[in-house]
Amino acid sequence: MVIKIYHNPRCRKSREGLKFLQEQGHEFQVIDYIKNGISILEINEIILKLHVSPKNLIRTNEALYKNELKNLNLKDEEWITIITENPQLLIRPIVLAKHKGVIANPPENILKLV
């Protein structure tokens, strides 16, 4: 099974999720979406596997969200564009398996995939 973790190395919760995956002994791919960006295709895969709307992928405690986005009523496509342009807004960590995914906070949520 191919597992992907959307990881921000500067985030404690993301590091905990990565450590949990390592301790479980599964093979996985680390995607540093902060360094490398995230595509619309990747966001659509996350939405599909998590069964959520794009707005549910937003970190609402980020200053950008609080100051500029909080009260906006945007379409899904607009939220997706905002995430691609501001990857720090993506909730983390996100772990995807072949057919489903989880927000790995707490890290034990990863057990739902394996």
Provide the annotated active-site residues. Answer: 11
Give 1-38 as a DSSP string.
--EEEE--TT-HHHHHHHHHHHHHT--EEEE-HHHH--
In 34-107, where do the E strands start and end? 94-96, 101-103
Peptide bond preceding 93 in cis form (omega within 30 of 0): yes
Tokens representing 18 are: 């990565």
Estimate the crossing angle of helix 76-85 against helix 40-50, to 10 degrees.
120
Rounded-to-integer distance, Cα 86 and Cα 106, Å: 24
